[in-house]
Amino acid sequence: MRAVAHLSGRTVGGEPTIGKQLVQGALADAHVATEAARRTLAVAGDCPDAVRDVHERLTTVDWELAKLLGASGFVDDGAMFGVHLSRLTANCWVGAS
């Protein structure tokens, strides 16, 4: 994962940033949310409202992970450009009520 690779190479206070508890908490939350989204699509992938809900949740997770990349995700083809494309795609989803 991009965030893990990025933070494994950075340090704060002389220690790897990846080891910070608040970082690990954010990574764990993202992992759990992604697993839940996968199951939602498995049980209700044909339900437009559920698909929309999953997409919105994933947009939130994307942002939580992009924050971990610091300013590097914000410039020169960083993660935010892809995150936004995914959000625009979700915004055009017309299936939901």
Residues in touch with ligand FAD (CB under 6 A): 10, 12, 17, 20, 22-23, 67-68, 70-71, 74
Write the single-letter amino acid at 67: K
Identify which of residues 46 and 76 has a Cβ nearer to other proteins in the complex.
Answer: 76
C-alpha 56/C-alpha 63 separation (Å) is: 11
For other proteins, what does the binding mask look like between residues 7 and 46, x meaning CB under 8 A?
A: ---xxxxx-------xx--x--------------------
Q: Which H, E and C letters describe 16-45, residue by residue? A: EHHHCHHHHHHHHHHHHHHHHHHHHHHHHC
Determine which helix (DSSP H) or strand (DSSP E) holds 16, and give its type and residue range: strand 15-16
- Site residues for other proteins per CB under 8 A: 10-14, 22-23, 26, 56, 59-60, 63, 66-67, 70-78, 80-81, 84, 87-88, 91-94, 96
